[in-house]
Amino acid sequence: MNPINPTNPTNLTDPTNDSFSTKLVVLDMAGTTVADGGLVERAFSAAAERLGVEPGSADHAAKLDYVRATMGESKISVFRHLFGDEAKARQANAAFEEAYGGLVDAGHIAPVPGARATIEQLRSDGRRVVLTTGFARVTQDAILDALGWQGLVELTLCPADAGGRGRPYPDMVLAALLRTGAADGVREIAVAGDTSYDMLSGVRSGAGVVAGVLTGAHDREQLLAHGATHVIGSVAELPGLLAGPPAREGR
């Protein structure tokens, strides 16, 4: 595997030339650029209680384990799995969004240290940046409003903006490319996130860089096991990583 190099014109004609430069950066929000301090779990507990799942019960613990393992997935998908029928899933999702939004409005979120400056650095390096989430749009907007981040990047995407599947499918990453036209191909995309599902979505999209960060839900081993090409301490290390040439980590 070649290091990440500046654009080489031969890229366009030589299919064996694997060097590329990153032109589009797709960043996850909660756990990657936004520190939410476990709000997902608190909001989940509120939603579960609304549906009669008692805190402290074995059922609650099992469902919470599932929520942790699937962190990053479209939340409505998680609730469909947990509660079976569509009406209950929607009820749970509405309760979750309401609880999470209330916690956001109460000031319980903050940027991951350096995240805003990192995004600005990536953009001043000539890269385009898109923010993605597994939350619904109303929650995504509540987070962006709370942080004063509306307008920080040119495009933000939630699962419904990309056909509804969310992660671990590559759809939001591919939608970011299609909507922005920011790169000539998928190898020029870098995906960064804190969960296994972020890594899978990056791998499945064909992104040249799939970077796991250690500020969120999953650890180095989990990130590597799901296809991370690199693991970094936080998103603040991403501009340096993309300036390369970094050694690729083993799959």
31 touches Mg ion (CB under 5 A): yes
73 touches Mg ion (CB under 5 A): no
Interface mask (CB under 5 A) for Mg ion, residues 134-173, using x and -?
----------------------------------------
Of all residues in the shown chain, the one whose CB is closest to Mg ion is: 31
Q: How many alpha carbons fall within 13 Å on the CB side of residue 85?
A: 3
188 touches Mg ion (CB under 5 A): no
Q: Which of 195, 190, 152 is nearest to 173 (CA)?
A: 190
Cis ω before 113 (30° cut-off from 0): no
First CA to last CA distance, the chain: 12
Q: How many alpha carbons fall within 13 Å on the CB side of residue 215?
A: 27
**CB-nearer residue toward Mg ion: 72 or 212:** 72
Find the part of the chain contacting Mg ion (CB under 5 A) among 21-29, 40-48, 75-83, 175-183. Answer: 21-29
Find the part of the chain contacting Mg ion (CB under 5 A) among 19-27, 29-37, 119-127, 223-231. Answer: 29-37
194 touches Mg ion (CB under 5 A): yes
Q: Is 159 exposed, middle or buried (0-12, 13-18, 19+ CB in 10 A)?
A: buried
28 touches Mg ion (CB under 5 A): yes
Integer Cα distance of 224 and 195 in angstroms: 10
Chain contacts with Mg ion (rule: CB under 5 A): 28, 30-31, 72, 194
